[in-house]
């Protein structure tokens, strides 16, 4: 049997069984079907374990690694599981997020040239969505969102550590991604194509699994209405562009036709002249 194109790593814990049919369901709907799914359990309960077993019975590409609860997020367990990965590329998804069907296809385009890459996400609210704030701060570098990231298996195996326990004051995924970004051999890229629906709600633990399931059900119905979902995507783009236009039109008018960046340079230059000794 030939090796799959993608290894997909999905960490889950405790009571997230209600959400797994959605996150894994979004993987199974990808335009690229050449993958293996490695579920890394971090102290899952009996219900979640039974959901995973049911999903496995329907698709032989799904493997489950059942670890006891880790003091943090089971980072070393992720590293251990990746030692068994067979894919050329590695992609990640949390149990609460949802990939649009072209996610792996888009990620593959980036990873054909780069070692580590990310797509963008939509930040999903109750009945609308916006371009992800974290990603909009990272146009020239990969984002920090777990479900957007991917890398080659080759570059992972060259890293000094790989997944390891995260210090208490750090985000788990950011701590890991920084390893790629600071590794001299790693070429990184942040694409501009939104491919992930991000359903985070508040700081840990946020919404309950039942509340997240209700929100996912709502958005599954929205996505099934292609015209409605297109309007949601258009509105997200309109909102982002309106902010851009405000900064580059309204503010420019207030600064006598100059862009804010150029106006600031001129202001500093004039201040320097005023303060210079004569």
Phi-psi region at 63: left, alpha or beta (left = phi > 0; alpha = psi -120 to 50): beta
Taking CA atoms, 185 is separated from 153, 175, 181, 243, 264, in Å, by 14, 18, 9, 37, 37
Number of Cβ within a 10 Å radius of residue 201: 15
Query: Dmax of the chain from CA atoms?
Result: 83
Pick the CATH number of 6-224 from 3.90.550.10, 1.20.58.190, 1.10.760.10, 3.40.920.10: 3.90.550.10
The rounded percent of the chain whose pLDDT value lies above 70 is 81
Q: Taking the domains of the chain in order of start, what are their residue ranges?
A: 6-224, 243-275
Mean pLDDT is highest, among 117-131, 146-160, 203-217, 253-267, for 146-160
Tell me the torsion sign for CA atoms 79, 80, 83, 85.
negative
- Summarised one tens digit per residue, pLDDT across range 104-149 is 999 999 999 999 999 999 999 989 999 876 555 554 555 578 999 9
Residue 186 near residue 180 (C-beta atoms within 8 A): yes
Tokens of 223: 């996505």
What's the pLDDT score for residue 132?
79
Q: Which of these ranges, 51-65, 105-119, 261-275, has the smallest mean pLDDT?
A: 261-275
**pLDDT over threshold 60, residue 274:** no
Q: Which of these ranges, 89-93, 95-99, 163-167, 169-173, has the smallest mean pLDDT?
A: 169-173
The DSSP 8-state label assigned to residue 264 in this structure reads H
């Amino acid at each position: 049997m030939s090796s799959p194109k993608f290894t997909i790593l999905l960490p889950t814990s405790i009571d997230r069984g209600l959400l797994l049919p959605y996150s894994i369901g979004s993987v199974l709907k990808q335009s690229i079907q050449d993958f293996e799914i490695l579920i890394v359990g971090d102290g899952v309960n009996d219900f979640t374990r039974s959901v995973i077993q049911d999903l496995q019975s329907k698709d032989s590409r799904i493997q489950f690694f059942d670890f006891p609860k880790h003091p943090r997020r089971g980072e070393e367990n992720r590293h251990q599981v990746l030692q068994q990965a067979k894919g050329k590329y590695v992609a990640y998804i949390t149990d609460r997020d949802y990939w649009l069907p072209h996610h792996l296809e888009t990620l593959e385009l980036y990873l054909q040239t780069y070692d580590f890459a990310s797509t963008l996400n939509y930040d999903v609210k109750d009945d609308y969505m916006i371009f992800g704030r974290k990603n909009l701060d990272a146009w020239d570098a990969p984002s920090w969102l777990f479900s957007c990231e991917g890398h080659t298996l080759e570059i992972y195996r060259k890293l000094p550590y790989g997944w390891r326990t995260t210090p208490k004051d750090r985000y788990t995924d950011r701590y890991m991604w920084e390893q790629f970004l600071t590794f001299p051999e790693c070429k990184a890229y942040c694409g501009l194509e939104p491919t992930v629906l991000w359903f985070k709600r508040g700081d840990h633990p946020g919404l309950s699994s039942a509340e997240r399931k209700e929100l996912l059900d709502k958005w599954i119905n929205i996505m099934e209405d292609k015209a409605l979902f297109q309007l949601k995507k258009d509105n997200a783009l309109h909102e982002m562009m309106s902010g851009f236009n405000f900064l580059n039109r309204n503010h420019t008018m207030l600064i006598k036709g100059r862009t804010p960046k150029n106006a600031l340079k001129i202001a500093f230059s004039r201040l320097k002249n005023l303060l210079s000794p004569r």
